[in-house]
A and B are shown apart, each in its own frame.
Chain A
Amino acid sequence: MSNELLVVKDLHTTFATAGGDLPAVDGISFTLGENETLGIVGESGSGKTVLARTIMGLQAIKNATVTGSVKINGSEVVGTSEADKRKIWGTEVAMIFQDPMTSLNPVMRIGKQVDETLRILMGMSKEDAKKRAIELLELVGIPSPEERYEAFPSELSGGMRQRVVIATALACSPKLVLADEPTTGLDVTIQAQILNLLDELKEKMQMSVILITHDLGVVATRTSRIIVMYAGRIVEMGSTQDVFKDHRMPYTRALLESAPKVSNPSHTRLVTIAGRPPNLLALEKGCAFAPRCKYATDKCHNERPELQATGTEGHMFACWNPLTSSRGDA
């Protein structure tokens, strides 16, 4: 954690909708060091994907306003033109998309999709790019890459396609990779393969990874730090160890408890989080989680808790009634 590769400061992404302003990302600040893996977890609709796209400088829809600051290796992303962003896309920051079924062009040979990037961004010649593309396909574990170079996406399985997507994203050795639920569309054994591959490549290519997921199992062993998001805000962040073993925010606990465990006897009922994610158009004055929280008091409903430190370095949470440190009995 030497240099800070990514600095996000007070980032807001607000969508103007017919029902009013919708704060999808609501004042998020964090930093990410070099060669670090950060996990961002939260339920569907907690703003994870919007956050990733905002960091990337992509706007899903035109009526979004973004304020705050995102600096990737020193270059500001918020408020810059597409031409400026093009300078960091691919070489500084890259994104691995959710669904490998839709993130490859169905009518272009996969090799071409990999070496396209190399030719645009690195200015490689046709032959060099092809050679490098085949190397990349081999690196991501595609068998007989020379043959697969000529294949169309429809001729590959989901896991293989995601490997190709990773190869395209990593083609120009970006320093930061945003992986937005990279394994959602894949079955469990393939998920593990893809995540291990990402890990391996991270070490090999010396890059930082932001792993966005709703699956705590995914982040548990692979990240050094975790951010827990709820309703567009960070509700807890800290080292993976702290978040898993010493969480203070009831939401984090609820999230952890709702993950099924292999060690449970069969027919154990799954623990759920009661209620529904909040309507972002009609947020309460207080803590967004209060309506679903069993510890909620009047204060929780009326005043919004800010992030506060726990004393352990880097571990912060936003809650009026934090759980007592569970480190001792864990």
Chain B
Amino acid sequence: MKPEKKKPLGILFWVCVGWIILNVLLAVFASFLPLIDPLYQNYNAVNSGPSLHHLLGTDDLGRDILSRIIFGSRVSIFVSFGAMAIAFLVGVPTSMLASLRRGRFDKILTTVMYSFLAFPAIIATISVLSFWEPRSLSKVTIIVGIFSIPLVYRVIRTASLAVAGREYVTAAKVQGATDRRILIREILPNITPILVSFLLIGIAAVVALEGALAFLGLSINPPTPSWGNMINEARTVLDVNPWLVIFPSIALVLFILSLNFIGDRLRNHFDVAEVKI
């Protein structure tokens, strides 16, 4: 009775995982890499295309694009990981508790969360960020994190509601397990697949959202680079130097695509295991 072999995840999955890890490592160790200072303006090479010296070219102020993309990824990664950390740390325990306790606690909490969902998150974030000066990375992270809580709450509540109704949860209960124990030992392991894939997709969504905010000039202030504000600045010289838009966009798209793909693959992978049970 050996456990069956699971469906392989595929090469593309591991390529995507590698890409995300590479991005994160580059972002973390950016200062130690032999990169040109992202703020250094080389007036001898303004708006130059890709060359040996500037692998991805320079912008209208002669700054190295490769370096700016790598430093810019710090913003995306910090905001997305941070915001999702906030959203999950608040959203997951509350939603799980609500699904187990039900009753008034669940009703009130769910109503509040769903009313927040009725707001378009991006409009809400934009309005808060417009008035909360001066903008900083942590403020953006906190706001995006808070507005992501209802989304996490809804998905995780539904998932754990399905688990909480299962017989083994009742069985654990009559064998003396307390609510806390049921949440941690019975429900959490059973919603982990959903948790992980939703986390990855959530991170991707926040990267895109941060890009949108930066494009609107509502994320971190220039000259600090971020993928979104690079695209925003490059817009004005699009006809002269299209590379300026193309490279940060590619970086943004590849990062989001990889995360989505990993999340999707993991979910399918776990689903196969579920069916067997």
Contacts and interface: CB of A to CB of B under 8 A. Distances in A.
A116 B277 contact: no
Contact of B185 (A90, A108, A168): A108
Main SS of the interface on chain B?
Answer: helix
B277 A121 contact: no
Among B172, B176, B190, B276, max chain A CB count under 10 A is at B176
Interface of B: 1, 3, 102-103, 166-168, 170-178, 181, 185-186, 189-190, 192, 274, 276-277
A117 B277 CA distance: 23
30 contacts: A58-B173, A89-B173, A90-B174, A97-B167, A97-B170, A97-B171, A98-B167, A99-B167, A102-B166, A103-B168, A103-B171, A105-B186, A106-B168, A106-B190, A107-B190, A108-B185, A108-B189, A116-B175, A116-B177, A117-B175, A117-B176, A120-B178, A121-B176, A151-B1, A152-B3, A153-B277, A154-B3, A168-B175, A172-B175, A172-B176
A194 interface: no
A168 B171 CA distance: 9
B265 to A, nearest CB: 19
Given A58-B173, A153-B277, A165-B171, 10 more contacts: A58-B174, A95-B171, A102-B168, A103-B168, A105-B185, A105-B190, A106-B190, A106-B274, A154-B277, A171-B175
B175 A120 contact: yes
A98 B168 CA distance: 11
Among B167, B192, B274, max chain A CB count under 10 A is at B167
A103 B165 CA distance: 11
Main SS of the interface on chain A?
Answer: loop
A116 B178 CA distance: 12
A161 B181 CA distance: 22
Contacts of A267: none
A108 B187 CA distance: 11
Contacts of B177: 116, 120
Contact of B175 (A94, A107, A152): A94
Interface in A92-128: 94-95, 97-99, 102-108, 116-117, 120-121
A102 B167 contact: yes
Nearest to A155: B1
